[in-house]
Structure 1
Amino acid sequence: MNGYFQLIYEDGVTKLQVFPPTNGGEAANLSEIVEYLSSRNIAYDNRALHSLVGRAEPYTAIINNVTGLEERENYKLMVSQDKMIATVRFYPPSVNGGKMTKREFIDDLNFKGIKFGIQEEEIDKYFENRRFCEDIIVARGKEPRHGTDAYIEYYFNTDLKVKPTLKDDGSVDFFNLNTINHCHKGDVIARLFPEDVGEAGTNLMGERLKPRDVKKKMLKYSRNVTLSEDKLTMISEVDGHVTLVDEKVFVSDVLSVDNVDNATGNIEYDGSVQVRGNICANFSVKSKGNIEVQGVVEGAFLEAGGNITIARGMNGMNRGILRAQGNIVARYMENTTAIAGGYVSSESILHSTVQAGTEVTVSGKRGFITGGRVCATNTITVKTLGSPMGVDTIVEVGANPTTKTRIQELQKEIMEATKVVKSVQPILTSTQQKLAKGVKLSPEQIQYMKSLIFLNKEKTKEIEEKMAEMDGLQDFIGNMSGACVNVTGVVYGGTRVCIGDLSMIIKSEMQYCKFIKMDGEVKMTAL
């Protein structure tokens, strides 16, 4: 038991007796004694109090020369900040004071707002065997049981980062990429595991505590898919292949053609497209799945919801465009614009504009980037960068290319909204001056002014929101870490290397190097 103290009123004085702890309990605390006396306006002699603590035997001292009213047994209540735990420390009555009953104590707790989670067993233990100056948990709230988010298991490969294999001779196998997920009729291709909403809790005051919100999900799918009766299982209706685009499952046969030319016209297909030959200039192929071309692509437009694979490469003729939500893999790209949500892989990139959501890898026998602009969010790895002839070549990492595009859009939108605000404010100011002079407005003028006030408010709010978004994007670009450019061969002078919001122009030829952002600069280190 902890040590404790007790008041004694006798012979016209007030005494305090302190009892030592037993069986390893804590000794009576001087600050707690002072707090107890002060809360009851009982005067005390400071030196007398100091003489009471730290003794091994019970000890009594006179603390003042006045006799007060007898003190009843009492307690100090402590409620946790989250209102989930109530702890008390009981104090004994004065020698002739009255004792508290269990009913009185519980009623007092209720009066103080503690209505839920009363620990009657602990309270009974105390009243059966009183333990003073000891923390006792007398009420405990019920924590909410937090549920879990719904999730979907896909029984096929959803990773769009499958990369081509590097052969022993140093070339890259762009033909056998294994990027198609084959499925058969009756295959289970996805299963939904519903959300668990959890259970509400209650704090000591009886207030309901909501569990955290959970995310719901549903199976999204296109044609050739059947859902089970409980809507939790997705089954393929055909033999073909399955892809996942924006959380939506597509199952379809592969559309296979010899060439894309005058015989076929433009192609737009919900599934994947396989071209066994070439795609001629000025034609387009749009697919919600993958596009695989076993021949050459000329100045055409290709757009895929998945990956684009071109086994023999592309000469874009300065008008060809590749756009994929997944990856782009081509043996070479010349005078081409390529935009990938995932990575871009090639043996050579010449005078092209390339944007990759993750990384760009230019390897193989040639492995060069010469001319144009190549951008990636994370990493660019290349064997030869730039040209000994000083052709303008820019490589950029450290921010998703779409982020910078969004910043440019925001700057334009902020400028336009600011023009509107500047044109409206003089009118509002002039009208306010007229009203101050007592000029009355017609109902039409009043309605017009209301519309201007609303427009000014909306545009001002729009400017604030877009400024906040732009600041966040710029901070993200500035804080981008881990982005780098790896040169496994040689980089030529005149090449510009950009990382985030910083850039560096290579002055002279260097080999086997790595460019990173360090100490507010673009720096070169050994590879």
Structure 2
Amino acid sequence: MPADLPRDPSDSLPIDSLEGLPADTPSDVPLDGRFYLYIDNDHMAVSVSIEPPLNGGAAVSEEQIRAEMTARGLVAGILDDALRQTAELGIGSYVCIARGLEPTPGHPAAFTNLIESPLDQIGEAVEDEDEDTHVRIDYRDLGNLILVTPGIPLMRRTPAVPSIPGFDITGKVIELPPIQDQPFADHLAGVMLCPDDANLLIAAISGAPKVMEHGVSVFALVEVDAVNLDTGNIDFDGSLKVRGDIVAGMRVHVTGDIAVAGTIEAADVHAGGDITVNGGIVGMADTVANDGQAQSRAAHLVCDGSVKARFISHAHIDARKIVAAEREIRQSFIDAGDCVVVGPPGSQKGAIVGGRIRATISVHSGVLGSMSAVRTEVQVGLNPRTDARAQVLQRKRKELNEQQAKLEKLVLFLQANPQKDVNNVGARARETLRQTLAEMSALTAQEAELIRALVPRAEAYVAVKKRIYSGVNARIGHKAREFREDYPGGKLRQGANGEIAVN
């Protein structure tokens, strides 16, 4: 018997046992051969041990073993050769004579993005000095538009591989959960299936691609001289190229990328991709109206990609990935899902002065704060979007709880008063309640994910190459440090004792 086959003597079956024979049984009495069956606890294998006959007794036959296996329901995966040879030999210990088949797991459909991003071709980079950190940014390539032409491959779909059922030695089929063969998403724009390959998605038009979980859409690129009163506010599915400026007071909402040759003033700009500004992002300081109320005239930018500009002043920016400025960020509120980088690669230039900078992984700058000790806040280690996400989930939980209470009350009322259940109200209420409970279950999973996001990133840091001025408040995860005097440049990390150390 193989060494990995479990043995369970308590589950063995003795045949022609000597137990019960008188102690004075003559030694020359013919004794038939005996065999024992050993069955794995999971019923995936059975082995046999055969003892030979004595004094001319009858040997164990293959038919005897098969008959006993059948009687015990061991009918699948029988190893005929092993059983036959062991029976012919007439002796053997723990020989496997039947083995079940483990089920083979399948694989869900896979989607491979075939679009080459400019970030994949980074040349010059900002790289942290530590080998354990890999942050690379190329200012020349970051945020450039990705354009495709008709026929360009966009995404490859690899069909699902179904699971193969198994079985145990009793013939019971062992099945794994079914594998979903997810198709390309519905309602994709500007794309088509390759005529020669139904699992290859290609561009049908020229434009900017937007990659989704199960597909890609291509949106036509719109070009304008400027975004001002002549153009009006812009809101469409696609990418936008502005040859001039986006002036103060305008609103731009697109699902693709935005490239601006000039500047973005105190405008409201949302993009589903990257925002690239060759000039600067220039908002204005808050002003006070005649009624004494503060009026914000800052630039407001939100994007699901990265933001790149020459400089940033008086702006509120929320970027899912990176915020990069070549010169400075001044009096701005920046939230970046990955990191914030200020200054040319490899230099000590670049400054963050005033405002609040938050990033999940890291912040890089030549200088932090100013000689005038203007208050400057910087935070790393926690995703800046977590607080907003928590508020959304809290509101959703409250709404679902209220809806559940109302529906349960209605269902109980109709059960107690069936004469009131007209026009199938009860069935609709029960179905809505079922959907509400399903939404609450999904919400619980989202809340658990949010709790994990609240755990600080151990690798988070703030890198300042030249100087940290007084007035700077640095926060790493849940730990904070107030700088009350100027400090040489260095790297701020959380120390072994939980404090924020500069080295």
Pick the TM interval, shorter chain.
0.7 to 0.9
Equivalent position of 2:95 in the other structure: 136
Q: Deviation at 1:121? A: 0.1
Aligned equivalents of 1:158, 1:247: Cα separation in 2? 18
Q: Is the contact made by 1:84 and 1:142 (CA closer than 8 Å) also made in structure 2?
A: yes
Equivalent position of 2:111 in the other structure: 152
Equivalent position of 1:48 in the other structure: none
| Structure 2 residue 164 is matched with structure 1 residue 199 | yes
Equivalent position of 2:281 in the other structure: 314
Aligned equivalents of 1:461, 1:154: Cα separation in 2? 32
Structure-2 change in CA distance of 1:342 and 1:214 (3 Å): farther
SS at match of 2:357: strand
Equivalent position of 1:227 in the other structure: 193
Structure-2 change in CA distance of 1:241 and 1:523 (3 Å): same
**Corresponding letter in the other structure for 2:152:** D
| Structure 2 residue 379 is matched with structure 1 residue 400 | no
Q: Is the contact made by 2:51 and 2:90 (CA closer than 8 Å) also made in structure 1?
A: no
Residue pairs, 1:258-277, within 5 angstroms = 258-277=225-244
| Structure 2 residue 480 is matched with structure 1 residue 503 | yes
Q: Deviation at 1:227? A: 1.9
Q: Is the contact made by 1:378 and 1:482 (CA closer than 8 Å) also made in structure 2?
A: yes
Q: Is the contact made by 1:260 and 1:280 (CA closer than 8 Å) also made in structure 2?
A: yes
Equivalent position of 2:259 in the other structure: 292
**Corresponding letter in the other structure for 1:148:** H
Equivalent position of 1:328 in the other structure: 307
Q: Deviation at 1:175? A: 6.1
SS at match of 1:109: helix
Match of 1:218 among 176, 180, 183: 183
Matched residues, number: 456
Q: Deviation at 1:196? A: 1.9
Residue pairs, 1:3-152, within 5 angstroms = 65-67=23-25, 72-93=32-53, 95=55, 98-132=58-92, 134-152=93-111
Aligned equivalents of 1:234, 1:115: Cα separation in 2? 49
| Structure 2 residue 167 is matched with structure 1 residue 190 | no
Q: Is the contact made by 1:498 and 1:522 (CA closer than 8 Å) also made in structure 2?
A: no
CA offsets, 1:60-81, max 9 Å, x none?
A: xxx9955499865333433345
SS at match of 1:106: helix
Aligned equivalents of 2:479, 2:89: Cα separation in 1? 73
Q: Deviation at 1:142? A: 2.2
Aligned equivalents of 2:207, 2:438: Cα separation in 1? 51
CA offsets, 1:318-356, max 9 Å, x none?
A: 432111111111122212111111111113222212111
Q: Is the contact made by 1:477 and 1:501 (CA closer than 8 Å) also made in structure 2?
A: no
Q: Deviation at 1:511? A: 2.5
Q: Deviation at 1:479? A: 5.4
Q: Deviation at 1:475? A: 4.6
Equivalent position of 1:513 in the other structure: 490
Q: Is the contact made by 2:241 and 2:259 (CA closer than 8 Å) also made in structure 1?
A: yes
CA offsets, 1:105-137, max 9 Å, x none?
A: 1121222232111001001111121333x2211
Aligned equivalents of 1:412, 1:464: Cα separation in 2? 15
Aligned equivalents of 2:184, 2:277: Cα separation in 1? 32
Q: Is the contact made by 1:160 and 1:326 (CA closer than 8 Å) also made in structure 2?
A: no
**Corresponding letter in the other structure for 1:328:** V
**Corresponding letter in the other structure for 1:316:** G
Q: What fraction of aligned residue pairs are identical, expressed as a percent?
A: 25
Structure-2 change in CA distance of 1:192 and 1:162 (3 Å): same
Q: Deviation at 1:274? A: 0.7
RMSD: 4.5
Q: Deviation at 1:414? A: 6.4
Q: Deviation at 1:213? A: 4.1
- TM-score normalised by length of structure 2: 0.75
Aligned equivalents of 1:310, 1:515: Cα separation in 2? 30
Match of 1:481 among 455, 458, 461: 458
Q: Is the contact made by 2:380 and 2:475 (CA closer than 8 Å) also made in structure 1?
A: yes
Q: Which structure is larger by alpha-carbon Rg, 1 or 2?
A: 1
Q: Is the contact made by 1:161 and 1:343 (CA closer than 8 Å) also made in structure 2?
A: no
Match of 1:368 among 351, 362, 366: 351
- TM-score normalised by length of structure 1: 0.72
| Structure 2 residue 146 is matched with structure 1 residue 181 | yes
Q: Deviation at 1:299? A: 0.7
Q: Is the contact made by 1:396 and 1:499 (CA closer than 8 Å) also made in structure 2?
A: yes
Aligned equivalents of 1:93, 1:262: Cα separation in 2? 106
SS at match of 2:373: coil
Larger mean CA deviation between 75-84 and 134-143 belongs to: 75-84
**Corresponding letter in the other structure for 1:234:** L
Aligned equivalents of 1:163, 1:334: Cα separation in 2? 27
Q: Which runs of 5+ in 2 are unaligned?
A: 4-8, 127-136, 285-296, 410-415
Equivalent position of 2:287 in the other structure: none
**Corresponding letter in the other structure for 2:89:** N
SS at match of 2:276: strand
Aligned equivalents of 2:209, 2:22: Cα separation in 1? 89
Q: Is the contact made by 1:492 and 1:509 (CA closer than 8 Å) also made in structure 2?
A: yes
Aligned equivalents of 1:373, 1:513: Cα separation in 2? 19
Aligned equivalents of 1:384, 1:480: Cα separation in 2? 23
Q: Is the contact made by 1:305 and 1:324 (CA closer than 8 Å) also made in structure 2?
A: yes
Aligned equivalents of 2:205, 2:245: Cα separation in 1? 28
Larger mean CA deviation between 277-286 and 267-276 belongs to: 267-276
Match of 1:343 among 318, 322, 325: 322
Equivalent position of 1:255 in the other structure: 222
Aligned equivalents of 2:359, 2:106: Cα separation in 1? 38
SS at match of 1:521: coil
CA offsets, 1:260-309, max 9 Å, x none?
A: 11111111232211111110011112222110011111111111111111
Residue pairs, 1:456-495, within 5 angstroms = 470=447, 473-478=450-455, 480-495=457-472
**Corresponding letter in the other structure for 2:277:** I
**Corresponding letter in the other structure for 1:147:** G
Aligned equivalents of 1:462, 1:272: Cα separation in 2? 34
| Structure 2 residue 333 is matched with structure 1 residue 353 | yes
Aligned equivalents of 1:139, 1:373: Cα separation in 2? 69
Q: Deviation at 1:247? A: 4.6
Q: Is the contact made by 1:502 and 1:521 (CA closer than 8 Å) also made in structure 2?
A: yes
Larger mean CA deviation between 310-319 and 82-91 belongs to: 82-91
CA offsets, 1:200-257, max 9 Å, x none?
A: 2222221222246434333346433222356323232334443424554232442111
SS at match of 2:63: helix
Q: Which runs of 5+ in 1 are unaligned?
A: 3-25, 27-31, 44-62, 428-441
Q: Deviation at 1:194? A: 1.6
